[in-house]
Amino acid sequence: MTAPTDATHDPALRSWVSSANLPGCDFPLQNLPLGRFRPHGDGGQLAPWRGGIAIGDQVLDLALARQQCPWPDDVQPLLDLLGQGDLAAFLASGRPAWRRLRAALSAALAEGSDQGPFLELCLHPLAAVEMALPLAPRDYTDFYAGIHHAVTVGTLMRPDNPLLPNYKWVPIGYHGRASSVGLGGGVRRPRGQIKSSAEAPPTYAPCRRLDYELELGLWVGVGNALGEPVPMDQAEDHLYGVSLLNDWSARDMQAWEYQPLGPFLAKSFATSVSPWLVSLDALAPFRRPLQRPADDPQPLPYLDSEFNRSLGAIDITLEVWLQTAAMRQAGQPPVRLSQSNALDAYWTPAQLLAHHTSNGCNLAPGDLLGTGTLSGPAAGQGGSLLELSLGGKQAIALPGGQTRTFLEDGDTVILRGYCQAPGAVRIGLGEVAGTVLPAG
Ligand code: MN
């Protein structure tokens, strides 16, 4: 079985937007990620939010493009939805519509396109626009699909029994908080109950073990009716695409509150996502087999499919970068803390979606699923400071003589992701950055 690539993935394609053709660009013509933005005002009234497509260092304004440029009859209604900023309605329209728009935009932005002279007037520099969440997630669920994260964290909490017996059978998750999902920026250090020693009672105080988690966000496109599970062979038809996701975590609050019902206030104070939705269609050249050790249990039939075994996983390199306030003041650039890959997840996006709906639970367009922290097996591949600092026992050295076990006020955490493969043009997810603000 081969990944369903088409003319939009042709590595020879180039755009008349010249910055899209530069090596290392996150947003070449083969990517075409979808976001919601408005141009910076001229000091007057704010423009309405509208859909946009990132191309090179520009954003194609779909509100302008639907008016300024001729389009095929079956594409115009899709651009009408996106031009009005209604990304949920576009996502609900399903994969044939997503692919139709992708093909039309690929042709329109390609070198030699007849639409180029019209669309040149519909571009804004990315640096001159304000991004919004692509759509407000109605619901947010965070999974635990990173097995190396689960083993390392489990070892810290339960040295004798790091991986609980359910892990290789059932995708573990909890219901997160949709209202505090945002694009990053300032993230206020939470206060909560902290129990510092076995003898003393807990206190209500600012978190002292603030952490990030490197994850992918999976964005539901097409929902399912209550009571109607989505089978594995249809699961990807319900997923529009991915973004980066930082599941900010207060480890000291988490350690005290997590039993018996799982994370609560240690997670719900902030979750940050990158603003551009990279479609599963754009990721087609980077699909890979799901790799599992031979002696692990096979997935139960409702979590298994031929496609999932052969191409269910996605090869996305993931990185965490850090810039402290002192580094920023000294003009030092961010430093990379870790690099890992989404291939290290134990469960694929299709399995997470199929499992989520397997009891009849209904998902809706724009619902957000976090994969769980995507760490690699080696030291230096931990997707959280909890892992990199071995539970706070081993400080990480930073440029300029600083060290970290957990995040300090003024620290900026940046997540980045990109895909590379032979015969394909590199595409990127962009980045999400958040800076820790002092507790209020
Ligand atoms: Mn998480």
Residue 159 CB coordination number (10 Å)? 8
Cα–Cα distance between 428 and 417 in angstroms, integer?
Answer: 6
Residue 4's pLDDT is 82
SS3 state of residue 51: strand
Residues 216-262: tens digit of each pLDDT:
999 999 999 999 999 999 999 999 999 999 999 999 999 999 989 99
* Whether residue 148 sits in one domain with residue 123: no
* Whether residue 106 sits in one domain with residue 182: no
Instruction: Out of 78, 109, 130, pick the residue that ends a domain.
Output: 130
Residue 191's pLDDT is 98
* Whether residue 352 sits in one domain with residue 225: yes
* Whether residue 192 sits in one domain with residue 111: no
Q: 247 C-alpha vs ligand 1 centroid, how far in Å?
A: 5
Rg of the chain over all Cα atoms, to the nearest angstrom: 22
Residue 3's pLDDT is 66
Cα–Cα distance between 319 and 101 in angstroms, integer?
Answer: 30
* Whether residue 274 sits in one domain with residue 170: yes
Q: Is-above-0.85 flag for pTM?
A: yes
Q: 373 C-alpha vs ligand 1 centroid, how far in Å?
A: 5
* Whether residue 79 sits in one domain with residue 34: yes
* Whether residue 107 sits in one domain with residue 178: no
> CB-side exposure of 109: number of CA atoms within 13 Å?
33
Residue 1's pLDDT is 44
- Whether 1 maps to a domain, the answer reads no
Residues 66-88: tens digit of each pLDDT:
999 999 999 999 999 999 999 99
* Whether residue 121 sits in one domain with residue 196: no
Q: 87 C-alpha vs ligand 1 centroid, how far in Å?
A: 25
Q: Which parts of the chain have pLDDT scores under 50? A: 1
Instruction: Out of 86, 112, 130, pick the residue that ends a domain.
Output: 130
Residue 45's pLDDT is 75
Instruction: Out of 130, 157, 187, pick the residue that ends a domain.
Output: 130
DSSP E strands: which ranges in 136-286? 140-143, 173-175, 181-182, 185-188, 191-194, 203-206, 210-211, 214-220, 239-246, 249-250, 271-273, 278-279
* Whether residue 95 sits in one domain with residue 24: yes
Residue at token pair 């996305």: 316
The total number of structural domains that make up the chain: 2
* Whether residue 150 sits in one domain with residue 74: no
* Whether residue 277 sits in one domain with residue 360: yes
Q: 25 C-alpha vs ligand 1 centroid, how far in Å?
A: 28
CATH number at residue 98: 2.30.30.230
Q: 126 C-alpha vs ligand 1 centroid, how far in Å?
A: 29
Residue 43's pLDDT is 65
Residues annotated as catalytic (active site), given as ranges: 149
Residues with CB under 5 A from ligand 1 (ion): 142, 213, 247
**Mean pLDDT across the chain:** 96
- The conformation of residue 432, written as its DSSP 8-state character, comes to E
Q: 213 C-alpha vs ligand 1 centroid, how far in Å?
A: 6
* Whether residue 124 sits in one domain with residue 146: no
Tokens of 253: 């609050």
CATH number at residue 277: 3.90.850.10
Residue 44's pLDDT is 65
Q: Which domain holds residue 14?
A: 7-130
Helices (H) and strands (E) in the chain, counts: 12, 26
- Whether 2 maps to a domain, the answer reads no
